[in-house]
Amino acid sequence: MSLSGIFILGSQNFQHQILAHYLEHERGIPCRILPPDCEFVSASVDTKGGSPLFLIDCSETGVERYFMNPQPAGGLPPFRHAVSIFNARRDSGIEEKALQTGVKGIFYEGLHLEVFIEGILEILNGGIWFPEDLMVKWISSQRKRVILPVKEKPFLSSREIEIIGKLAMGLTNDDIADHLHISLFTVKTHLQNIYRKIKVTNRMQAIIWASKHLAGNRVDLSWLGEGDVERKAVGHH
């Protein structure tokens, strides 16, 4: 489902005001600045019936508290709405905590405005946005964890294995539909069934699952690259 509207969680500083003004007046996206201590996971936030994106400024003090409850396997995400972080410092440790709680995007400090806006628009359209080098590091760390015995692995049909394999290769839903000569609706239905069977709730978790459990079987993570790439959106819902 596409998102509508943005809430920036941070102080009323010059950077936030410029960003909010640009998004609203240049891109036509409703945008408000909320205090950094706003409890956006509660029903107190007025979203006017829409599904907003919350941008948390990591340069503000105390933002770590938002990421103290990582998402359990197969559990509900800790956030009621889509969340991304920006002004994150590389290797600060906030990235892994944010990934564990199911954020939709991570933007490092100093990122060019055009790339930042491109990532925001991707998330608003239902995608996710992470630096490739971060995803390489994250997936590599996840693959080192204990793998379930074969008898405990969920059963996936040959078509579902084919689809999750292409997912892990970096293909979008549209690409998968074209490659397999099936409808986009069919792809989305298969993905919903796959998510349910492997007990994940989003695309990134499915890619990580595939990298651990289907390694050597139609899963190729080389599309993530090994370089210090900042701008590519990893995945698309």
Q: Are 5 and 29 in contact (CB under 8 A)?
A: yes
Same domain, 35 and 57: yes
Q: Which domain holds residue 209?
A: 140-224
pLDDT at position 207, please? 82
How many domains does the structure of the chain reveal?
2
Counting Cβ atoms within 10 Å, is residue 150 exposed (0-12), middle (13-18) or buried (19+)?
A: exposed
Kindly report, residue by residue over 145-176, the tens digit of the pLDDT: 544 444 445 578 888 888 888 887 778 888 89
pLDDT of residue 39: 66
Q: Which residue has the higher pLDDT, 218 or 116?
A: 116
Average pLDDT over residues 136-152: 55
Same domain, 121 and 192: no
Is 98 in the same domain as 174?
no
- 117 has a pLDDT exceeding 50: yes
Same domain flag for 155 and 117:
no
Domain boundary among 94, 110, 129: 129
Quick: pLDDT tens for 123-132: 887 778 888 7
Last residue of a domain, one of 104, 129, 154: 129
- C-beta neighbour count of 42 within 10 angstroms: 8
Question: Per-residue pLDDT averaged across 32-60, rounded?
Answer: 71
Instruction: Tell me what percent of the residues of the chain surpass a pLDDT of 70.
Output: 70
DSSP-assigned letter for residue 236: B
**Cβ 169 vs Cβ 214: under 8 Å:** no
Residue in the block written with tokens 């440790």: 93
| 39 and 154 part of one domain | no
The stretch 9-15 carries a mean pLDDT of 90
Residue 16 reports pLDDT greater than 50: yes
Query: Rounded mean pLDDT of 30-43?
Result: 73
Say what the pTM is: 0.60
Cα–Cα distance for residue pair 214/207, rounded to 1 Å: 10
DSSP, collapsed to helix, strand or coil, labels residue 230 as: coil
